[in-house]
Amino acid sequence: MTVKLTPYITLEGRTREAIQFYEQAIGAEVLSILTYGQMPDMPSTFTDELKSLVAHAKLKVGEAELMFSDAPGGSPIENGKRVTICITTNDVEQSRRIFEALQQEGQVNMPFKEEPFSPGFGDVTDKFGVTFQVYTELE
């Protein structure tokens, strides 16, 4: 079992621009990009512009990774949510245990469940106001 921490950056509709910038500035390599339009169960109210926004992207920089997404609808990002910490494991049950431990006296922002980009994912703000995304990545 492995566990790693990855910065997760949320932007207001500028993720593609940021990815291009980091490719040039620090030699980032794009590993994956998923748009809101590619997500199942996307609200029918999403316009083509919203569908083109990035729901999840992963870049490799040297030996490290960065993850990105756009806030849907270009909505303002809450304090403490622009940069979060993504905890990645290679075991769904371990991810679930970490998520459940972090939610003690905290707030669940997105329940832990299977997503198109992960067999187990959730977003939680702990009792200290630190936001974590718990992400499972099977090898």
Q: Would you state the pLDDT for residue 76?
A: 76
Question: Residue 60 carries which side chain, given as an amino acid letter?
Answer: K
The pLDDT of residue 48 is 87
Query: CATH code for 3-136?
Result: 3.10.180.10
pLDDT of residue 49: 86
Query: Is the CA virtual torsion 74, 43, 37, 96 positive or negative?
Result: positive
> Burial code of 70-106, b = ≥16 C-beta within 10 A, e = fewer?
bbbbeeeeeeeeeebebbbbebbebbbebbeebbeeb
pLDDT digits 0-9 by tens, 73-110:
656 777 667 888 999 999 999 999 999 999 999 999 99
| CA nearest to 102, candidates 92, 115, 112 | 112
Domain ranges of the chain: 3-136
Write out the two tokens for 120.
Answer: 């187990």
Indicate the pairing of strand 3-11 with strand 29-35.
Answer: unpaired
- What pLDDT shows up at residue 39? 85
DSSP string, 68-120: EEEPGGGPPPPTT-SEEEEEEES-HHHHHHHHHHHTTTSEEEEEEEEETTEEE
Q: Which pTM was predicted?
A: 0.74
- Which H or E element spans position 42? none
**With a cut of 50, which residues of the chain have pLDDT below it?**
none
